[in-house]
């Protein structure tokens, strides 16, 4: 990673710590608690200050550092596949209750396989369905755990 990128990251963390510290000042207290040696906001305040101080040290450290000869080039990463997988994970969470475990898991696995380059039809359809069905039966029938069967199933 380039030094400029590292400094940017340290600055982002500085903002995060500052926001955390500001939020810590809004933590409510019971009447009279402000006179006690330890309050619910004591630890967060210490952490915010420590974080801010460390970020400043990091920025100064990076400022003095020479540019490394080889750096990680972010553009060379496969951002598209990783972003799509993250989106699929979020969609999996949304789909779990309405579609039910089996349908949501089958779709999640099929989408994951597809994003990573799998194109064989039986692996995109049969394997996810069989796997999720087997997992569902194992959890619900053998281990006695509840897994959503889906709103559509109830209807």
Partner 1 sequence: MWDGITTGLMTVLIPTNLFLVACGCIAGTFIGMLPGLGPISAIALMIPITYGFDPASGMILMAGVYYGAIFGGSTSSILVNAPGVAGTVATSFDGYPMAQQGKAGKALAIAAVASFSGGTIAAVMLMVAAPLLASVSLSFQSPDYLMLMILGLTAVSAFASRGNVVPALIATVIGLMLSTVGTDPSAGIQRFTFGSLDLVDGISFLLLAMAAFALSEALMTVLKGRSDPIAESRSASQNIGSLKIEKSEIREMVPVVARSSVVGFFVGVLPGAGATIASFLAYGMERAIAPAKEKLKFGHGSVRGLTAPETANNAACTGSFVPLLTLGIPGSGTTAVMLGALISYGVQPGPQLFQTNPQVFWAVIISMYIGNVILLILNLPLIPYIARLLALPRQLLIPMILFFSLIGVYLVSFNTFDIYMMTGFAIAAIFLRLFSYPMAPLILGFILGGMMEDNLQRTMTLYDGSLSFLWQRPVSLAISLILLVVVLVPVFRTLRGARPAAR
Residue from 1, 134, 137, 151 binding partner 1 (CB under 8 A):
1
Q: Taking the complex as a whole, how short is the minimal distance between the CB of residue 77 and partner 1, in angstroms? A: 4
Closest to partner 1 by CB, 117 or 155? 117
Angle at 110 between CA 102 and CA 155, to 5 degrees: 30
Query: Taking CB under 8 A as the rule, does residue 18 contact partner 1?
Result: no
Residue from 11, 15, 22, 82 binding partner 1 (CB under 8 A):
82
Q: Taking the complex as a whole, how short is the minimal distance between the CB of residue 23 and partner 1, in angstroms? A: 6
Asked if residues 116 and 84 have their Cβ atoms less than 8 Å apart, the reply is no
Query: Taking CB under 8 A as the rule, does residue 125 contact partner 1?
Result: no
Asked if residues 18 and 87 have their Cβ atoms less than 8 Å apart, the reply is no
Q: Which two tokens stand for residue 123?
A: 């692996």
Q: Taking the complex as a whole, how short is the minimal distance between the CB of residue 155 and partner 1, in angstroms? A: 20
Residues that bind partner 1 (CB under 8 A): 1, 5-6, 9, 13, 17, 20, 23-24, 27-30, 33, 36-44, 47-48, 50-51, 54-55, 57-58, 61, 64-65, 72, 74, 76-79, 81-82, 85-86, 89-90, 92-94, 96-97, 105, 108-109, 112-113, 116-118, 123, 127, 135, 139, 143, 145-146
């Amino acid at each position: 990673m380039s030094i400029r990128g590292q400094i940017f990251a340290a600055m982002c963390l500085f903002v995060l710590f500052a926001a955390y510290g500001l939020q810590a000042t809004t933590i409510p207290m019971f009447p009279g608690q402000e006179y006690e040696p330890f309050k619910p906001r004591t630890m967060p305040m210490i952490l915010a200050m420590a974080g801010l101080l460390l970020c400043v040290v990091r920025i100064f450290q990076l400022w003095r550092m020479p540019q490394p000869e080889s750096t990680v080039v972010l553009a060379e990463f496969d951002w598209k596949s990783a972003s799509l997988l993250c989106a699929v994970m979020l969609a999996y969470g949304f789909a779990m209750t309405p579609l039910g475990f089996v349908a949501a898991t089958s779709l999640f696995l099929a989408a994951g396989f597809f994003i990573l380059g799998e194109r064989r039809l039986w692996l995109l359809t049969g394997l996810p369905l069989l796997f999720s069905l087997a997992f569902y039966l194992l959890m619900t029938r053998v281990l006695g755990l509840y897994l959503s069967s889906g709103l559509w199933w109830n209807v």
